[in-house]
Amino acid sequence: MKSAILIIDDERAICASLTLALEKDYKVIAVTDAQTGLQMVLEQSFDLVLLDLRIGDQDGIKVLEQIKAYDSTIAVIIMTAYGSIRSSVEAMKHGAFSYLSKPLDLEELMIFIRQALEFRYLNDRVEYLSKELESRYTYGGMIGKSSAMQQVYQMIEKVKDVNTSVTITGESGTGKELVARAIHYQSKRKNRKFVEVNCAAIPEGLLEEEFFGHKKGSFTGAVDDKKGKFELADEGTLFLDEVGDMPLILQGKLLRVLEQKQFTPIGGNEVKTIDVRVIAATNRDLRAMVKEGSFRRDLFYRLNIVEIHLPPLRERKQDIPLLIQHFLQKYSEEQEKKLPGMTVEAERLLLSYHYPGNVRELANALEYAVILTSEDYIEIEDLPLQIQEEGIQGEKRKSLRQGLSLEEQLAGLSMNEVERIVIGAALKRNGGRQKITAQELGISERGLRNKIKEYQLNV
């Protein structure tokens, strides 16, 4: 299929001669006024425009701007008999591919046309591949090409239309709510409500009312009937965030509703039947809570029919470049700023940081950097202080591998940093076995577990 070229030049002789020279290899249309040319760009698809810098009393630069506003992918070559460095720079600044002076050298023009069309093709190819990568590595608002995230996407695909309970586990900030929403909005229930309850944010005395609602007059202040979350989520999805923080007494009532699919509002007599899919999420170890008696075993098995685990960001660092690009784009648009680049040093620091706050912390760091930077590139100084300080500590930790004395290796580190290094090294030496490591360090297993959690150590 021939590439389409539009010629816009007020000299009929030039339009005719260029058409004659190009029509063997290209589909060519020539017009002699700017408005007709712009109308053609709107109505038809062109790969390249040969544009005169002065079309009657029309400024070619203004026409160039309008062409690029209509379709930024069209390659434009400016032609003029009034060549100047200033107008050349101005044309290139507004998106022209190249700039040629009249009288045109036909051989030179042919070379520039081939280069412009090749450049157009490569840009289209890059855009296509970018969209392919985006669709491949994104799912329901989540971003990740790591095998761990691909497994999460696969699990969502498998369970989305199965009417069963799902528990999502993972540290705070890993995106558990995004997984819950992805399950709902990819499922057959997507046209029904997604209702969220944060079990940690609602006072214990109000949780039962939040779940089941109440009837008018059931207690002081109950001036109207109120629907609970279960009723609001009927035929949809109820998301129990931080389910590990739910009080034991309410756990029993929740279990009955899940088993019987019925409930009664506070102060009411009418039994309501519901069809609700429950998805729970927690950053706590529910199995350990079952063992210690702070979470009901029967409720755990009712909720945890399928478990989806979200890995912490430090365990999927190959996803960080994709996330950086996503958040830079998002916050640049929100702040109405030009999309900034990032220095190699700043990106290296973001890649090496351990992210105790996971994806949420990375998002906050990039929003902070976009707001503060006044340059075209984000530098280390634009990042939050805790990330900068982690980089400094990381440089200090490198000294442990550089043959320095122990005293020199530890100089300048805090006691917490030293403790973190020692515990991490002991765990690694013992293959992650906590009992042996605790004995070796002279602390209890419980104390070791607390330290592992405090220092975010991988076991």
**Phi, psi at 101, each rounded to 5°:** -95, 145
Q: Same domain, yes or no, for 305 and 217?
A: yes
Is the separation of the CB atoms in 139 and 160 below 8 Å? Answer: no
Q: Which helix (H) or strand (E) holds 402?
A: none
Supply the CATH number for residue 335's domain: 1.10.8.60
Whose tokens are 């550089």? That residue is: 402
How many CA atoms lie less than 13 Å away from 155 in the CB half-sphere? 17
pLDDT value at residue 218: 81
459 residues of the chain, pLDDT tens digit each: 788 999 999 989 999 999 999 999 999 999 999 999 999 998 888 999 999 988 888 888 889 989 988 888 889 999 887 655 566 677 777 888 888 888 888 888 999 999 888 888 777 655 554 454 445 567 777 888 888 898 999 999 999 999 999 999 999 999 999 999 999 999 999 999 999 999 988 887 788 888 999 888 888 777 788 899 999 999 999 999 999 999 898 999 999 999 999 999 988 888 999 999 999 999 999 999 999 999 999 999 999 999 999 999 999 988 998 899 889 989 999 998 888 888 888 888 898 898 999 999 999 999 999 999 887 889 899 999 889 887 666 555 554 444 555 565 555 566 777 788 888 888 877 778 888 888 888 888 888 888 887 777 766
Structural domain harbouring 22: 4-133
pLDDT value at residue 16: 92
Query: Which of 88, 103, 133 represents a domain boundary (last residue)?
Result: 133
Query: What gap in Å lies between CA 88 and CA 34, rounded to an integer?
Result: 19
Q: Same domain, yes or no, for 173 and 271?
A: yes
34 assigned to some structural domain:
yes
Is the separation of the CB atoms in 96 and 64 below 8 Å? Answer: yes
Query: What gap in Å lies between CA 269 and CA 75, rounded to an integer?
Result: 72
Q: Which residues pair with 99 in a beta bridge?
A: 78
pLDDT value at residue 401: 46
Query: What gap in Å lies between CA 104 and CA 52, rounded to an integer?
Result: 12
Tokens for 49, please give them. Answer: 């425009």
Supply the CATH number for residue 42's domain: 3.40.50.2300
Q: Same domain, yes or no, for 366 and 225?
A: no
Q: Same domain, yes or no, for 162 and 266?
A: yes
Picking from 440, 441, 438, the residue whose alpha carbon sits closest to that of residue 418 is 441
Query: What gap in Å lies between CA 370 and CA 359, rounded to an integer?
Result: 16
Q: Same domain, yes or no, for 168 and 299?
A: yes
- The residues, any chain, with a CB within 8 Å of residue 284's CB and separated by 6 or more, are 244, 245
139 assigned to some structural domain:
no
Query: Which of 384, 405, 426 represents a domain boundary (last residue)?
Result: 405
Q: Which residues pair with 75 in a beta bridge?
A: 48
pLDDT value at residue 400: 46
Is the separation of the CB atoms in 59 and 80 below 8 Å? Answer: no
141 assigned to some structural domain:
no
Q: Same domain, yes or no, for 65 and 99?
A: yes
pLDDT value at residue 219: 81
- The pTM (predicted TM-score) of the whole model is 0.59
Is the separation of the CB atoms in 393 and 413 below 8 Å? Answer: yes
Q: Same domain, yes or no, for 14 and 93?
A: yes
pLDDT value at residue 131: 53
Whose tokens are 């309008």? That residue is: 66
215 assigned to some structural domain:
yes
Whose tokens are 């739910």? That residue is: 246
Burial per residue of 53-68, b for 16 or more beta-carbon CB atoms within 10 angstroms, e otherwise: bbbeebebbebbeebb
183 assigned to some structural domain:
yes
Burial per residue of 335-362, b for 16 or more beta-carbon CB atoms within 10 angstroms, e otherwise: eeeeebebeeebbebbeebbbbbbbebb
pLDDT value at residue 392: 60
Supply the CATH number for residue 189's domain: 3.40.50.300
Query: What gap in Å lies between CA 368 and CA 331, rounded to an integer?
Result: 9
Q: Same domain, yes or no, for 8 and 128?
A: yes
Q: What is the chain's length?
A: 459
Picking from 51, 60, 45, the residue whose alpha carbon sits closest to that of residue 30 is 51
Is the separation of the CB atoms in 33 and 1 below 8 Å? Answer: no
Query: What gap in Å lies between CA 289 and CA 299, rounded to an integer?
Result: 12
Establish whether the linkage from the previous residue to 103 is cis, with ω within 30° of 0: yes
Q: Same domain, yes or no, for 168 and 220?
A: yes
Tokens for 381, please give them. Answer: 């100084």
Cβ neighbours of 144 (radius 10 Å)? 24
Q: Which amino acid is at 58?
A: Q
Query: Which of 311, 343, 374 represents a domain boundary (last residue)?
Result: 311
232 assigned to some structural domain:
yes
Query: What gap in Å lies between CA 342 and CA 177, rounded to an integer?
Result: 29
Total number of domains in the chain: 4
Q: Same domain, yes or no, for 181 and 279?
A: yes
End-to-end CA distance of the chain: 59
pLDDT value at residue 70: 83
241 assigned to some structural domain:
yes
Is the separation of the CB atoms in 7 and 104 below 8 Å? Answer: no
Q: Same domain, yes or no, for 29 and 151?
A: no
**Phi, psi at 227, each rounded to 5°:** -80, 140
Supply the CATH number for residue 428's domain: 1.10.10
Cβ neighbours of 11 (radius 10 Å)? 15
Tens-digit pLDDT profile for residues 372-408: 988 788 989 999 988 988 766 655 555 444 455 556 5
Q: Same domain, yes or no, for 335 and 272?
A: no
142 assigned to some structural domain:
no
Q: Which residues pair with 227 in a beta bridge?
A: 213
Picking from 430, 400, 402, the residue whose alpha carbon sits closest to that of residue 417 is 400
Query: What gap in Å lies between CA 298 and CA 241, rounded to an integer?
Result: 19
